[in-house]
Amino acid sequence: MLCLSALMLNACLKKDEDSGESHCAITAFSVGSITSYVTTTDGSGNSVTTKRTVAGSDIFFSIDQKAGTITNVDELPNWISLTKVLPTFSSFGDVFLVDGDYIYGITSGTDSLDVSVPRKLACFSTDGLYRKDYTLTMRKRAEVSDTILWERLSAADLKLTTGHRALTMSVSYKDADGTDSLVRRMFVFSEDEDGSPAVSSSLDGVSWLPMEALASGSDRLDYQSVTVHQGKLYALNEQGWLFSSTELSKGLVWTEVGDAGLQRLLGSDGLYLYGYDGTKIVATRDLENWTSAGEQDVAALPEHSIYCFASTSKTNGDLTMVMMGGITSVDEQHGVTWYKTSSLNSEYNEPWSYIQVTGDNAYGCPRLLEQSTVCYNGCLYAMGRRLQSDGSYKFEGFYRSEDNGIAWHLQKTKWLLPKDLNAADGPASIMVIGNRVYVVQMGGRVWRGEIL
């Protein structure tokens, strides 16, 4: 509950026009995950209410210090409820909600706000002499959501001649005024004409850096192993040594971390980096000491097209729910899915568990050639070419899972692939940034989809 301040606005001292910007400012702003209950009508005309959540980590904000505005970068889905949103912020000074002639103290990460309409915030210097005002606006689309409107982009510099691995990485940097600036870069790793691992990257999906071979010393890296962990890229070489790279180097320069003794990188949940050492799943926090994170069913671990996604538990903020999967040689019909609960508390940090496709689960993800998977709005979406009765391979559509990878269903109404994706015979990968979906295909074809 917000605490009502005894101050009236007209009793405050110096406002922002008194050059108080250097004394008080909101420098970073984010929100927690937002849960909404959406009511729709099924095929029989009955009302069906479902619970849907947008992860706070997928909502990014822009702060304009000069204009005094705080706004989400990407519009949110139409169905989202903004009546109870939990903000977290960094500031020089104390932050208050302005409501008419009164102000209410706000505690970061504790007090919820109704932001269904723009709200006024005020930041006061600690000595109470200066004040800076902001307007907080959270935008959402007016249209029905989860329909993708595709457009073909011109990406002449993205020359893909072989298979590839596509992923995104978000990194925050401090601007000169102390404000956090978020950079969200898309990476596509592949091979150059000589067969050496190479990379291209883009900030908008339109302008791509030319595909360039990795810097000397990292020419034997397995580009299919590249994983994002705590703001850096990690990959293995042929001998199982671990290397890292940064957004600043655009994935071109790699630094040796050490001999991890791994056969495979499996992903990251933000707390631990996971790998397979040939006998068991192992995890590390310091990149030096690797401990067991699972020894059962390791023959069913994904061997390629590996994905790993994590989200904070809705019932316990100290727990992280992690999904990992991909393609393995032991199952010729389906992709594989693994699941774990992760925590810094060893009492709750569980080993990885394999989700088997059995008679009780007849909707496992089908085996897809060069499968590519993303997580959006708490759901998994997988795409890839599937074997047809005539022996050819074809993109049928997105397969979606709403239950952490247990059951998958082909999407036939909203999440639809670009219509001309099957016109070229080659693998494609999907990436998501905010409410935009990007698909890149061998040959350098790029599509951008707006999630309405």
Q: How far apart are CA 122 and CA 403, in angstroms?
A: 41
DSSP, collapsed to helix, strand or coil, labels residue 56 as: helix
Cβ atoms of 167 and 187 within 8 Å: the answer is: yes
**pLDDT value at residue 433:** 86
Cβ atoms of 403 and 415 within 8 Å: the answer is: no
Q: Provide the CB-side half-sphere exposure for 8 (13 A, CA).
A: 3
Q: What are phi and psi of 306, to 5 degrees?
A: -80, 135
Tens of each residue's pLDDT in the chain, 452 residues: 454 444 444 444 455 444 445 689 999 999 999 988 876 543 333 455 667 788 888 899 999 999 999 999 888 888 889 999 999 999 999 999 999 889 999 999 999 999 999 999 999 998 888 999 999 999 987 755 567 889 998 876 787 877 889 999 988 887 777 777 778 899 999 988 778 889 999 998 888 998 888 876 665 889 899 999 999 999 999 889 999 999 999 999 999 999 999 999 999 999 999 999 999 999 999 999 999 999 999 999 999 999 999 988 878 888 999 999 999 998 888 999 999 999 999 999 999 999 887 666 668 889 999 999 999 878 899 999 998 888 889 999 999 998 888 889 999 888 899 988 888 778 999 999 877 899 999 888 899 998 77
Nearest to 195 by CA among 170, 178, 219, 177: 219
DSSP at 10: G
**pLDDT value at residue 147:** 78
**pLDDT value at residue 50:** 67
Q: How far apart are CA 140 and CA 203, in angstroms?
A: 23
Q: How far apart are CA 134 and CA 186, in angstroms?
A: 31
Q: How far apart are CA 362 and CA 370, in angstroms?
A: 22
| pTM score | 0.72
CA 211 to chain centre: 24
DSSP, collapsed to helix, strand or coil, labels residue 16 as: helix
Q: What is the separation, in whole angstroms, between the first and last Cα of the chain?
A: 34
Reading the block at residue 193, the tokens are 């004409």
Cβ atoms of 137 and 82 within 8 Å: the answer is: no
The domains located in the chain, with CATH, are: 3-137 (2.60.40.2340), 148-451 (2.120.10)
DSSP, collapsed to helix, strand or coil, labels residue 9 as: helix
Reading the block at residue 40, the tokens are 């729709």
**pLDDT value at residue 157:** 74
Residue 60 CB coordination number (10 Å): 19
Cβ atoms of 131 and 431 within 8 Å: the answer is: no
For every residue of 122-189, DSSP letters joined together read EEE-TTSS-EEEEEEE--B-SS-SS-EEEEEE--TT----S--EEEEEEEEEE-TTS-EEEEEEEEEE
Cβ atoms of 198 and 224 within 8 Å: the answer is: no
DSSP at 366: B
DSSP at 210: P
**pLDDT value at residue 118:** 96
**pLDDT value at residue 360:** 61
Q: How far apart are CA 370 and CA 429, in angstroms?
A: 8
Q: How far apart are CA 312 and CA 320, in angstroms?
A: 4
